[in-house]
Amino acid sequence: MHLSSSAASTPVQLTISAFPAGNGYEIGGIHFRNSYSTLTNQEVASIQALQSIGGGNYSDLIFNTSNSGVPTEKVRITSAGNVGI
């Protein structure tokens, strides 16, 4: 995918929207996949927005990476702005 704008004053935006089912559900994300050897289309990292409090517009931003396995959470920025590593 390539996003661009021909006007200097027009910002380019990628919008991901959803109707999550409640606390902890993914609103949207960017998932990075790798095809190496016999592992085809294996997810190796992701950045996800999760609804953090049900019934509101609160979200956490999660960064997941992998060390030869399934990606796990490494950094979280909460809806309150706190950073957890």
Instruction: Tell me which residue range forms the domain holding 23.
Output: 1-85
Lowest mean pLDDT among 1-15, 24-38, 43-57, 67-81: 1-15
Domains in the chain, number: 1
> Token digits for 74?
């490494």
DSSP letters, 51-66, are: E-STTSS-EEEEEEE-
CA distance 27 to 20: 6
Query: Looking at the predicted structure, is the pLDDT value of residue 63 above 90?
Result: yes
- Summarize pLDDT for 34-49 with one digit per residue, the tens: 877 676 788 899 999 9
What pTM value is reported for the model?
0.79
